Amino acid sequence: MMTHEEIQADLSLLALGALDADERRAIEEHLRAGCQACERELASWNEIVGLMPLELGDAASPNLKSALLARVRPAPVGAKVIRLPRWVAVPLAAAAALLIAVGVSHDARLRGDLDAQRESADRLRAELDGAQGELKRIGRLLAEREQDVASLRAALASAEESLTLLQAPGLRLVRLKETPEARPAEGHVLFNPEGGRALFYGFELPPVPAGKTYELWWITDKQGPINAGLFHPDERGLSRVDTSVPTTAGAIQAAAVTIEPAGGTPKPTGPMVLLGKS
């Protein structure tokens, strides 16, 4: 245990850093205990020791002030070029190169994926075009089928009407034969004087010349010939006229077919090709 006097005697050595570790610890403990006299004494020796390096002068010293101020000033916001030591810069550059390589590889893979996606998109587009073409074709077929259905419905409706006519009581039939001026042909008219409805069917009538039409006539006892309708045979030579029976012209004496100018005439003017008496 050092006495206060022994400690005071060694304070100059403490300031100089010339004490051994155990001596230093003993004095520091004494100072921590609150000896103000020793604290003042040590401060005096510290000042003297602090003056010692002044003997070295400062005339041959580098100016480090700018470096010092740069260190204490806060770093500016924004980009700053930092010169790294080689042991940092080389691994950093290698890491950057690796990242770039990985990035290039990744980019190449992405490009490959993109090309594959483009090929897939082209393939899908071609398939879509084909599907759209098929859809149009199916649409056309559907339209044709719808037309067929409409035709069938019309035919069915006509057949139903014909059946209704045929099933009605009082049915009458008039056979029509070709005239001596006409080529062989025939036809018949089904009508019911009570119902006012009539159906004409013609067979093997040739097509009429351009600007001409076949015209069907009722031959009545009061008004003579009355227009019953215009018609053209189809490609098979079949003809059909859905017409009505005049009710105010007296009894039906006969039915006839003549060739008339297109649009028909009120009274027969052309050659008679079919005639059938009631």
Partner 1 sequence: MAETSELVLALRNREERALTEIYDRYGGGVYQLALRITRDPGAAQEITLDAFWQVWRQADRFNERQGTLSSWLFTIARSRAIDRVRAAGAAKRVEREDVAVLEHPGDQPEAMTELAERQRLVREALAALTPAQRAALELAYYEGLSHSQIAARLGEPLGTVKTRIRQAMTTMRRSLAPVLAVP
Q: Where on the chain is the footprint of partner 1 (CB under 8 A)?
A: 9, 12-13, 15-21, 39-40, 42-65, 67-69, 71-73
**Cβ closer to partner 1: 21 or 82?**
21
Shortest distance in whole angstroms from residue 99 CB to partner 1 = 33
Beta-carbon contacts of residue 28 (< 8 Å; ≥ 6 apart): none
Shortest distance in whole angstroms from residue 104 CB to partner 1 = 41
**Cβ closer to partner 1: 44 or 269?**
44
**Cβ closer to partner 1: 18 or 141?**
18
Shortest distance in whole angstroms from residue 113 CB to partner 1 = 53
Shortest distance in whole angstroms from residue 69 CB to partner 1 = 6
**Cβ closer to partner 1: 17 or 76?**
17
**Cβ closer to partner 1: 39 or 221?**
39
**Cβ closer to partner 1: 1 or 72?**
72
Shortest distance in whole angstroms from residue 81 CB to partner 1 = 20
Q: What is the distance between the alpha carbons of residues 41 and 109, in angstroms, rounded to a whole number?
A: 77
Shortest distance in whole angstroms from residue 21 CB to partner 1 = 8
